[in-house]
A = this chain, B = another copy of it.
Amino acid sequence: MKAPTLHDVAAEAGVSIKTVSRVVNGATTVDPELRTRVEEVVERLQYVPNTLARSLKAGTGDTIGVVIDTIADPFFASLTSAVEDVALEAGLGTVFGSTGFDSARERSQVSRMAMQRVRALILAPTAGGHEYLQQVRPALPVVLVDRAVADGSYDVVRVDDEGLAHQAVAHLTARGHRRIAFVGSDKRFITTRHRLDGYHRALAEVDTSADPELVRPGPTRDVDATEETLDLLALKEPPTAIFAANPRAAIGVAHALHTTSRPDVAFISFGDFPLARTLEPAVTFVDQDPSAIGAAAMERVLAHLDGTAGQTQDIIVPTRLVERGSGEIEVRR
């Protein structure tokens, strides 16, 4: 039981294959009588046009590819959702693939998408090398999201990691904090390193250097961030404030702070998370705006497809620090 083709419809309606094609594609130059006859047969045979064939003919597909760490991460889920919304308006579908933070898997996902002839690729690059991308590029516009790669020749849409981390930590130093801990998720990520740079710069501005004991860029799961935080609180000289470098880490930190009843520790998160506004005190955060990043990336893709992209761009999506209480706690005297 195969799907009917243009040919089948044409035979059934007693017209040529091309006439059916015209009807299906809404051409106006078709005799009204033939048109209705064809439409009737299309309906009866349940004819569904085959995009594969169309795309093969056209030389390019009608989907755009999104390759990210994992769709289960709310940051990337929002980002991808925004990409889909913009893509859909342009009549493009969305395929996605997750890397699981593995650069070999990233390569295989990208390769699969290149074989599928996606129109363009939106990629959150892993920590690995990206020379291979040069090879797909001629055929395929690539827009990076969230982080750049060493080779600066790609379009990127991201936030100002260094600057925002600096702003957050300066927010804390302005309230007298000097022992400020840094809890991140994975030092291998360039974003974590940039946020760490901002952290150090803010401390340097108040003539302080970070106590290595307070710098924990490592955890990859919440529970680790919780453990790191518990460990920090148990130090001889514990931190008076904590900067969490991403929402995942922040959730772990928040858990530790609450289960040990330490609302006196100042706390700022890089990225919002559900219930951050509900905790006592509510969690001050730097907004990451994933959906703005996704929408901007997709707009950039459309520009490439239009041929209006011009020079390589490094787009910094504007964000802000939202004061909710936890970041405004003054240092204890």
Contact = CB atoms under 8 A, between A and B. Distances in A.
A97 interface: yes
Contacts of A139: 1, 3, 48
**How many residues of A sit at the interface, in one of the four size bands?**
35 or more
A273 interface: yes
Given A74-B74, A258-B278, A135 B80 contact: no
Given A94-B96, A95-B95, A280 B251 contact: no
Contacts of A71: 71, 77, 80-81, 84
Give the copy number: 2
A117 B59 CA distance: 17
Contacts of A78: 72
A85 to B, nearest CB: 8
A256 B114 CA distance: 48
Interface stretch (A29-37, A49-57, A157-165, A298-306): A49-57
Nearest to A72: B81
A128 interface: no
Given A53-B56, A81-B98, 15 more contacts: A52-B55, A52-B116, A71-B77, A72-B74, A72-B78, A74-B74, A84-B98, A94-B96, A251-B278, A254-B275, A258-B280, A274-B275, A275-B275, A275-B278, A279-B279
3 interchain residue pairs of minimum CB distance = A72-B81, A77-B77, A51-B115
